[in-house]
A and B are shown apart, each in its own frame.
Chain A
Amino acid sequence: MTFRYDIPRSRLKYAGIFSWQGLYKTMNEWFQEREFEFHEKLYKDKIKPVLPEIEIKWYAERKVTGFIMYVINVEFHIWDLEEVEIMKDGKKEQTNRARFLIDFSGSVVIDYAGQFEHSEFRKKIETFIRNHIIKKEVETIHVDKLDYMILNLHKRTKEYLDFYSKSHAYPMF
């Protein structure tokens, strides 16, 4: 019986100049570095009369053990994306301007393969294991680790966008 420990959502919003391609690549690379299985569940591009609106949903999973899996969800919503030319270090550079929001969330999934689903007895065993045997291990090791991994991704995104609040005093995962 699959059970999830959810990590609450955190939200980033930005309006200004940035490179959309660079941001997409930077965030994508983060998942590859940590060997997550990456899926783009949704890419919606609405061509509006003036400027496009884009919605993207990412889902990434990593099987930690045969029983525990980490899942990270990232959702983008971008409005008024346009190409602009700026002067940087005396050279002309093509970049983008838009306003967008990014939602980060995640969960630690127990029994992702559904091995304990097949009978009521197995479900009871799974509940007992989850609540009494591995509870502390899951909460202190896995949930905290995934929470700080998501904060790391958050930090990488803020660094790319040059947010003032990009510093991070906590351990990196």
Chain B
Amino acid sequence: MSEYKFVVEELRLAYEGLMNVPELYSMIDQYFREKQYDKREVRNFEQTTPDGKNIELEIQPYKKITDYAKLVIKIRMFFYGLQDVVVEKDGLKIKMQKGKVEMIFDSFLETDYEHRWEQKPTYFLIRTLFDKFIYKIYTTQFEKELEKETNHIHDMIKSFLNLQRY
């Protein structure tokens, strides 16, 4: 089994009000594409109810830094009671959504994701010693990069949602 080192755990964001959900998703998708992450959409649930649409979305974009280490950012998004509204902005009618959203951000560094160093106990020992004493300088750099990118996407989404208020 791979080793997982959690860098950011359960960073939350909650918002209620006007938002453009397709544009929000597109912005997140574009961000990860630009940062050279590969796309992984684990779950996408949409349920239409009399009170609006409920959506549950989990994405886990990842980036293979080396053949030993991989950066993963997991974002879980929960949208409740989404209803389509038409808003007039600068004389233009725009279709948006009104509702509640909650997002949870986790990110972790996965090492030995190809499972090459766990086939025998000796390999496992070598891997542990290597991780603790030799490779530590690199994993620290990877963790810093991952933390920076997670906080960046969190702040981008927060700014995007706050702009929708006006």
Contact = CB atoms under 8 A, between A and B. Distances in A.
Interface of A: 8, 10-17, 99, 144, 147-148, 151, 154, 158, 161, 163-170
Interface stretch (B6-14, B25-33, B85-93): B25-33
B39 A167 contact: no
A154 B39 CA distance: 12
Contacts, number: 69
Q: How large is the interface on B (under 10, 10 to 19, 20 to 34, 35 or more residues)?
A: 20 to 34
A167 B44 CA distance: 13
Interface of B: 21-22, 25-26, 29-30, 32-33, 38-48, 53, 55-57, 79, 82, 97
Contact of B39 (A13, A15, A151, A161): A151
A144 B43 contact: no
Contacts of B25: 164-165, 167
A163 B46 contact: yes
Nearest to A161: B46
Given A16-B48, A154-B41, A168-B29, 10 more contacts: A10-B41, A13-B44, A16-B47, A147-B38, A163-B44, A164-B97, A165-B57, A167-B29, A169-B32, A170-B29
A11 B46 contact: no
A164 B29 contact: no
